[in-house]
A = this chain, B = another copy of it.
Amino acid sequence: MPIASTDPSHCSKCTARSVSLCEAMADRDVDVLESLSTRIRASKGDIVVHEGESARNLYNITMGTVKLYKLLADGHRQIVGFLGMGDLIGMSPEANYPFTAEAVTSVNYCQFNREQMRTVFGEYPAMRERIFEIAANELSEAQEQMLLLGRKTAQEKIASFLLSRLRKAERLGGGGNSIELPMSRHDIGDFLGLTTETVSRSFTSLKTKGFISLDGTSRVKLQDRAGLEALASGS
A interface residue numbers (CB < 8 A to B): 68, 70, 72-78, 80-81, 91-94, 98-99, 125, 128, 131-133, 135-140, 142-147, 149-152, 190, 192-193, 230, 233-235
Contact = CB atoms under 8 A, between A and B. Distances in A.
Contact of A72 (B76, B91, B142, B147): B147
A87 B13 CA distance: 43
Given A72-B151, A150-B78, A99 B143 contact: yes
Nearest 10 interchain pairs by C-beta:
A150-B193, A72-B234, A92-B136, A142-B142, A149-B149, A74-B234, A73-B234, A78-B147, A76-B151, A80-B143
A228 B175 CA distance: 50
Contact of A235 (B73, B99, B145): B73
Contacts of A138: 139
Contacts of A147: 70, 72, 78, 80
A80 B136 CA distance: 15
A75 B233 CA distance: 10
A132 B75 CA distance: 32
A102 to B, nearest CB: 15
Given A78-B146, A131-B132, A151-B193, 13 more contacts: A72-B151, A73-B233, A74-B235, A76-B152, A78-B150, A80-B143, A92-B139, A92-B140, A94-B140, A98-B143, A142-B145, A142-B146, A149-B149
Nearest to A75: B234
Nearest to A94: B140
A142 B70 CA distance: 12
A110 to B, nearest CB: 20
B233 A94 contact: no
Contact of A234 (B76, B139, B144, B151): B76
Contact of A93 (B68, B73, B132, B146): B132
B150 A149 contact: yes
Contacts of A150: 78, 149, 190, 192-193
A197 B146 CA distance: 21
Contacts of A128: 128, 132
B133 A93 contact: yes
A133 to B, nearest CB: 6
